[in-house]
Amino acid sequence: MDQQPSNAEEVVIGEEINHARVITLNRPRQLNVISSKVVYLLAQFLEKWEKDDDAKLVIFKGAGRAFSAGGDLKMFYEGKKSDDSCLEVVYRMYWLCYHIHTYKKTTVALAHGLVMGGGGAMVVPLKFSVVTEKTAFAMPEASVGLHTDCSFSYILSKLPGYLGEYLALTGSRLNGKEMVAAGLATHFVPSEKLDELEKRLLCLNSGDTSPTVQAVIEEYSFDVQPDEGSILNKLSTIDKCFSGESVEEIIKSFEDESSIKGNEWIAPVLKSLRRSSPTGLKIILRSVREGRKQSLPECLKKEFRITINLLRSVISGDVYEGIRALSIEKDNAPKWNPPTLEEVSKKNVDLVFQPFSDELELAIPAGEESCRWGGKYEESVYPKLIGSQLTQF
C-alpha cells in the first residue's frame, strides 16, 4: 500500500481534492508522532475546512507503517525546563481533541498501522474509522508515568464491562478486528483495498455525504469477529479482576486468576502492570472510573489538569523518568518515585485532580450536542491562547 505523500518536508500535509479534504500525518520515520507543529497544523486545517462550504468530507491518514504512535515524548522531555512551550502544546492538543470529537463535517480515518495514545484521538471519535489487519491500537501511558489522556478517560470508560480499565492500566494492544468488535472502530477493510477505497471517497460528489460515505465504505468492508485467543473472549475474567476498587485489589485478583488452568495469558500482562509507574496506575484508574459519570468536556478538563500537573512534577517526576527510560537512554529500567503502589498516597493523587482557578482551566464549551461518543459542544472555534495565562501555573 503506497501511503507516501509527495511533499516529504511537511509534517502534516493538507490536500483539497474535489469535495474531499485529506490530512496526512507525514513523519513516517518517527511513526507520525504528534509534535507541537503537528498540533498547530492540524488545528489550522480543521478550522479552515469546517468553514468551507465546498468541503464535505475530511479524511485522516498516516504516511508509512503507522497512523500515529501518539505524542512526541522527546518533545516533552526536552521542554521540561521551559514550561510555557509544553503548556501551550498541551492546551492546543486538548482543544484539538475537543474539535475532532465535535467536528461538523463528515470525517473518515484510514487507520493503517500503529494507533497509539493521542493518535487514537484522530481515529476513534471520527464518524467513520476504518482499520485493517495491520492496525494495532494501545494506550501505553502507564509505562511512561503518564495517564490516559486525549479524551480516552471518556472513551475507554464507555467500553463493555471493565475492558476500558484493562486497556488503560495494562497498555495491551487490540488489533483491527478487536477494535471493531469493541466499538473503537466502525469498519474493517483489508489493507490491499485501502487505496481503492480512498480513491472512491475522493470522487464523491456533494450532497447527503454521510450515508453516501457509509455505503462506499461498506462496499469494501468485511464483517469480522475476534480470533479465538482474543482478549475480548476473556471479558468475564477481565470484569472479575478489573472491577476492583483499587489498583492493589485489581493486581491481587489478577494474580489469583493467573494460577487457573487456561489463564496463561495473564502472566505477561501482569509483568507489564508491575513495570508501570505506580503513581501513573493510580491516577489512570481514578480518571477512567470518573469518566464513567462525566461528559466529554468534563473529561477533557480533568485530563488537562492531570497532564499539566504531571509535566510540572507536582507530585512525582515519573513522566520524565519514564520517557528517559523508554525513549532517551532506552535502558527500559525506570526508577519510579515512589517505587511501590503502597507508597502512593491518596492525598497526592487528589492533588493532580484538583480544579484550577477559572482563568487557568481548559476553556472549552460545556453545551449540549451529540457526537459519535456522546460528547458535548457548542462552537468549535479555537480560542486565542493568552501568554499570561501560561505563566500563572
Q: What is the pLDDT along the chain (393 residues), one digit of tens a residue?
A: 444 444 557 999 999 999 999 999 999 999 999 999 999 999 999 999 999 999 999 999 999 989 999 999 888 888 776 555 677 889 999 999 999 999 999 999 999 999 999 999 999 999 999 999 999 999 999 999 999 999 999 999 999 999 999 999 999 999 999 999 999 999 999 999 999 999 999 999 866 688 999 999 999 999 999 999 999 999 999 999 999 999 999 999 999 999 999 999 999 999 999 999 999 999 999 999 999 999 999 999 999 999 999 999 999 999 999 999 999 999 999 999 999 999 999 999 999 999 999 888 998 987 544 455 543 333 334 444 444 445 555
Per-residue b/e over 27-38, b at no fewer than 16 CB within 10 Å? bbebbbbbbbeb
Distance CA 377, CA 366 (A): 6
249, 285 contact by CB (below 8 A): no
Q: Which amino acid is at 86?
A: C
pLDDT at 206: 67
Angle at 368 between CA 94 and CA 157, to 5 degrees: 55
Query: What integer pLDDT is reported at residue 208 of this predicted model?
Result: 66
d(CA 123, CA 335): 33
Residue recorded with cell 488503560: 168
Beta strands 174-175 and 136-138 are: antiparallel
d(CA 152, CA 249): 23
Domain residue limits, the chain: 12-225+244-391
Q: With contact defined as beta carbons under 8 Å apart, do 332 and 326 qualify?
A: yes
Distance in angstroms (rounded) separating the CA atoms of residues 238 and 257: 10
Annotated catalytic residues are 71, 118, 141, 149
Of 106, 7, 25, the C-alpha closest to 69 is 25
Mode of pairing for the β-strands spanning 57-62 and 106-111: parallel
pLDDT of residue 376: 34
The topology under which CATH files domain 12-225+244-391 is 2-enoyl-CoA Hydratase; Chain A, domain 1 (3.90.226)
Nearest of 68, 110, 100, 164 to residue 372 by alpha carbon: 100
CA 230, 334, 353, 389 dihedral sign is negative
Q: What is the C-alpha separation between 238 and 166, in angstroms, rounded? A: 7
The grid coordinates of residue 49 equal 475546512
The pTM score is: 0.92
To which residue does cell 485478583 refer? 253
pLDDT given at position 270: 97
pLDDT of residue 81: 60
